[in-house]
Amino acid sequence: MADPPVDGIRLIVGLGNPGSRYERTRHNAGFLVVERILTGRCRRWFPAGKGESIWEEATIRLGANEFLLARPLMYMNRSGNAVSDLLRVHDVSPASMLVVVDDVALPPGRFRLRVGGGHGGHNGLRSIRDATGTGDFPRLRVGVGSPAAGIDLADFVLESLSGEAWAYMEAVVAAAADVVEVAITRGLVAAMDAFNRDPAPQAGPPAGGTDPADRALPTDPGFPPGS
């Protein structure tokens, strides 16, 4: 695989939960973003790994450079084992991996791109940190908003979206895919400058409240069966 020209990013990992039950949920924002990047280039996924560490992967070309896309096929809080093996198999360092996740602390359509940091209560990021022994990997948090008063957080992020809510989520995913492409072709700093404070897409979400963009992400609830 050719080295990319900026920041050394070689691998983009989207986090989510496997299975049709979760395909159109807010918690699967990471899956949806890498899927958008892949299908936009008429490519398909290839299975990889074995046993308790499985994932899908595909290679895309942007300009003169190739990048690896991947989706761990484990539930969210067990995705770190697949990511650790993925890094080993392809000889990629954590610092050369961009992880895409959902974020209930950000209003829908807002993004936070960081070069490293803690897990912020996100089970997927926590699992990767625990499995790799480091939090020093870039991550893109995709704002999905937080539930209105009286709505359980797990129910909110695992709700199967349809109609206007799904159309809006698709717009958010498309915008997030643009952030990823800028990050890997023009660099993390350029992408942070361009997108970290960008407003949400023009049409607002049809339901659900939002929290201030800069508050800490609360601990993820326990998603059955253990996302």
CA distance 75 to 69: 18
pLDDT of residue 222: 34
Furthest CA-CA distance within the chain: 50
DSSP state string for 38-66? HHTTT---EEEEETTEEEEEEEEEETTEE
The pLDDT of residue 189 is above 80: yes
Residue 225: which pLDDT band, with cuts at 50, 70 and 90? very low
pLDDT of residue 204: 52
pLDDT, tens digit, 9 for 90 and up, residues 195-206: 876 454 544 555
Backbone CA torsion sign across 92, 93, 97, 101: positive
pLDDT, tens digit, 9 for 90 and up, residues 147-170: 888 999 999 999 999 999 999 999
Residue labelled with tokens 């199967």:
160
CATH number of 11-195: 3.40.50.1470
pTM over 0.85, yes/no: no
pLDDT of residue 211: 28
CA distance 25 to 2: 34
Catalytic residue among 27, 90, 119, 122: 27
| 27 assigned to active site | yes
Domain ranges for the chain, please list them: 11-195
E-strand ranges in the chain read 11-14, 46-50, 53-62, 65-72, 97-103, 111-114, 139-143
